[in-house]
């Protein structure tokens, strides 16, 4: 008698062997002479059907009263199913009710709205969709580590708590051990953070990039894959207050090498997930977004288009389109502009580089034209920007100049500047929002449904 996961039974089970499965009932169908239990253990899309006959000792007392959501352990014989709809089923020899489910179990056999399921964070993973999301998310995470490990990138654990507001990448959550009702004050009346836990004002990280640069200038190629926090009041289907970010950083690398890595990364990870989760992906293509497999095939098969910001502006201006936000050289590309270029003009992913320095961060490499920086955005259909990155400014003089131009306090970047004094090297990297990648690969419309426990303004339940 072997205890196996349902996935393994359906993939490689041998008929007429004894098996044990443990899981939760998706549905139950009781007849007078037989009960059908659809058991799922989360290991794969489909469950397995167990058939229980009235001869079983606890049939009347327990089995016949089983309801959806109950947890059971079934010992029995794996047999070829005489019924339609499944290859194997289990002729139960023993059905143990591990955990009874009350009759007000909120998950029904019919389809639920994702909004409703969001209020059931403790149960929604038992549904088809969230099970599939969790498995694809897992496969994508593994694919990401595999991609970098194959290339000898070192996985860097960047800090969660940070003292620097460096990047200015967004509003940050404060971290404090002070009693909020009795905060110590300085003479000028402000909070005296010198008395706080770290002796300074501390926050949750918005990016591991600057720490990744430290590591790249010692280990050559590194990547971070960890949680990131933004306290912006963003109420959209693409933003979370807590999300996971992937940030590779490479020494001896310029914007071209950065683009090459980003493209290879998306292609490899996508291919990997398509191969490792065929059933889940078929489900998403059938029930969630009927173009998702086609879109992903494009990612894997077709080369990404590459263009400069200046060329993108030119395309938009000559498109004959009237955009809500007019296009001119120097303005940021809006969602509508990115979508036009990706979905209508090119029809496949696009990498845009060399943006005006005024609309990009201080740390980006100043190009020879002294008007643009070596920034890079990877744009994909529907999601828009999925990757943002740049070649970093590794020259001390230029970096100092840019910090001044951006009105940032030089002293707070002392270590970042020192990296440019002690063996600086050209380096580049990018950031990828992991949930946006999962959204893109599953076709799920709302980012709150591709993370197990979403944190957004006004909501952090479960």
Partner RNA sequence: UCCCGGGUAGCUCAGUCGGUAGAGCAGGUGGCUGUUAACCACUUUGUCGGGGGUUCGAGUCCCUCCCCGGGAGCCA
Q: Does 115 bind RNA (CB under 7 A)?
A: yes
Q: Give strand pairing partners of 19.
A: 2, 76
Q: Which of 14, 16, 55, 109 binds RNA (CB under 7 A)?
A: 109
Q: Does 87 bind RNA (CB under 7 A)?
A: no
Residue 251, phi-psi category: left (phi > 0), alpha (psi -120 to 50), beta (remainder): beta
Q: Does 130 bind RNA (CB under 7 A)?
A: no
Buried b (16+ CB within 10 A) or exposed e, 198-236: eeebbbbbbbbbbbbbbbbbeebbbbbbbebbbbeeeee
Rounded distance, CA 391 to CA 371, Å? 15
Q: Does 226 bind RNA (CB under 7 A)?
A: no
Query: How far is C-alpha 277 from the chain's CA centre?
Result: 16
Q: Does 88 bind RNA (CB under 7 A)?
A: no
Q: Does 435 bind RNA (CB under 7 A)?
A: yes
Q: Does 445 bind RNA (CB under 7 A)?
A: yes
Nearer to RNA, 13 or 433 (CB): 433
Q: Which of 58, 86, 176, 276 binds RNA (CB under 7 A)?
A: 86
Nearer to RNA, 36 or 198 (CB): 36
Nearer to RNA, 291 or 332 (CB): 332
Pick out residues in 276-335 that bind RNA (CB under 7 A). 325, 332, 334-335
Q: Of 100-108, 197-205, 264-272, 406-414, which segment contacts RNA by CB under 7 A?
A: 100-108
Pick out residues in 43-72 that bind RNA (CB under 7 A). 49, 51, 67-68
Rounded distance, CA 73 to CA 15, Å? 19
Contacts of residue 143, Cβ cutoff 8 Å, sequence gap at least 6: 268, 269, 272, 273, 276
Q: Which of 36, 59, 173, 198 binds RNA (CB under 7 A)?
A: 36
Q: How far is the CB of 347 from RNA (least distance, A)?
A: 19
Q: Does 240 bind RNA (CB under 7 A)?
A: yes
Provide the 10 A C-beta neighbour count for residue 297. 13
Rounded distance, CA 431 to CA 226, Å? 11
Q: Of 98-106, 194-202, 261-269, 420-428, which segment contacts RNA by CB under 7 A?
A: 98-106
Q: Which of 103, 368, 370, 411 binds RNA (CB under 7 A)?
A: 103
Report which of 211, 218, 215 is spatially closest to residue 159, judged by C-alpha positions: 211
Nearer to RNA, 4 or 435 (CB): 435
Q: Does 407 bind RNA (CB under 7 A)?
A: no
Cα of first residue to Cα of last residue in the chain, in angstroms, is: 37
Angle between the 434-442 and 255-276 helix axes, to the nearest 10 degrees? Answer: 50
Rounded distance, CA 155 to CA 212, Å? 10
Task: Please provide the DSSP assignment of 63-84 as one string.
Answer: GGG--TT-EEEEEEEEEE-SST
Q: Are strands 154-156 and 221-229 parallel, antiparallel or unpaired?
A: parallel
Q: Does 165 bind RNA (CB under 7 A)?
A: no
Q: Does 400 bind RNA (CB under 7 A)?
A: no
Q: Of 14-22, 144-152, 413-421, 441-449, which segment contacts RNA by CB under 7 A?
A: 441-449
Q: Of 28-36, 194-202, 271-279, 419-427, which segment contacts RNA by CB under 7 A?
A: 28-36
Q: Of 143-151, 188-196, 237-245, 289-297, which segment contacts RNA by CB under 7 A?
A: 237-245
Q: Give strand pairing partners of 155.
A: 223
């Amino acid at each position: 008698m072997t205890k196996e996961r349902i996935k393994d039974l359906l993939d490689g089970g041998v008929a007429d062997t004894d098996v044990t499965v443990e899981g939760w009932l998706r549905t139950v169908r009781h007849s007078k002479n037989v009960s059908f239990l659809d058991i799922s253990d989360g290991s794969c899309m489909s469950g397995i059907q167990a058939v229980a006959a009235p001869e079983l000792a606890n049939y009347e007392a327990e089995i016949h009263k089983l309801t959806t959501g109950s947890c059971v352990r079934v010992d029995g014989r794996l047999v070829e199913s005489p019924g339609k709809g499944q290859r194997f089923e289990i002729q139960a020899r023993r059905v143990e009710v591990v955990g009874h489910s009350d009759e007000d179990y909120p998950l029904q056999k019919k389809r639920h709205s994702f909004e409703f399921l969001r209020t059931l964070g403790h149960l929604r993973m038992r549904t088809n969709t969230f099970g599939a999301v969790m498995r694809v998310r897992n496969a994508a995470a593994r694919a990401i580590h595999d991609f970098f490990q194959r290339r000898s990138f070192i996985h860097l654990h960047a800090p969660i708590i940070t003292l620097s507001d460096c990047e200015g990448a967004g509003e940050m959550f404060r971290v404090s051990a002070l009693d909020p009702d009795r905060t110590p004050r300085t003479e000028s009346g402000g909070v005296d953070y010198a008395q706080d836990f770290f002796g300074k004002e501390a926050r949750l990280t918005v990016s591991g990039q600057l720490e990744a640069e430290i590591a790249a200038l010692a280990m050559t190629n590194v990547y971070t894959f960890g949680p990131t926090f933004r306290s912006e009041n963003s109420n959209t289907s693409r933003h979370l207050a807590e999300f996971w970010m992937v940030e590779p950083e490479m020494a001896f690398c310029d914007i071209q090498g950065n683009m090459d890595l980003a493209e290879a990364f998306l292609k490899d990870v996508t291919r990997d997930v398509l191969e490792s989760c065929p059933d889940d992906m078929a489900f998403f293509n059938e029930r969630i977004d009927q173009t998702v497999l086609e879109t992903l095939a494009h990612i894997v098969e077709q080369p990404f288009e590459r263009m400069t910001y200046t060329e993108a502006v030119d395309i938009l201006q000559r498109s004959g389109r009237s955009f809500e936000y007019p296009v001119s050289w120097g303005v940021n590309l809006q969602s509508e502009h990115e979508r036009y270029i990706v979905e209508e003009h090119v029809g496949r992913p696009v990498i845009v580089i060399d943006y005006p320095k005024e609309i990009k961060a201080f740390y980006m490499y100043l190009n020879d034209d002294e008007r643009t920086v070596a920034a890079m955005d990877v744009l994909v259909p529907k999601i828009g920007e999925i990757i943002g990155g740049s070649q970093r400014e590794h020259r001390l003089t230029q970096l100092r100049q840019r910090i001044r131009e951006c009105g940032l306090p030089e002293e707070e970047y002392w270590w970042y500047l020192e990296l440019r004094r002690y063996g600086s090297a050209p380096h580049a990297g990018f950031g990828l929002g992991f949930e946006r990648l999962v959204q893109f690969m599953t076709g799920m419309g709302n980012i709150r449904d591709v993370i197990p426990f979403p944190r957004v303004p006004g909501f952090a339940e479960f």
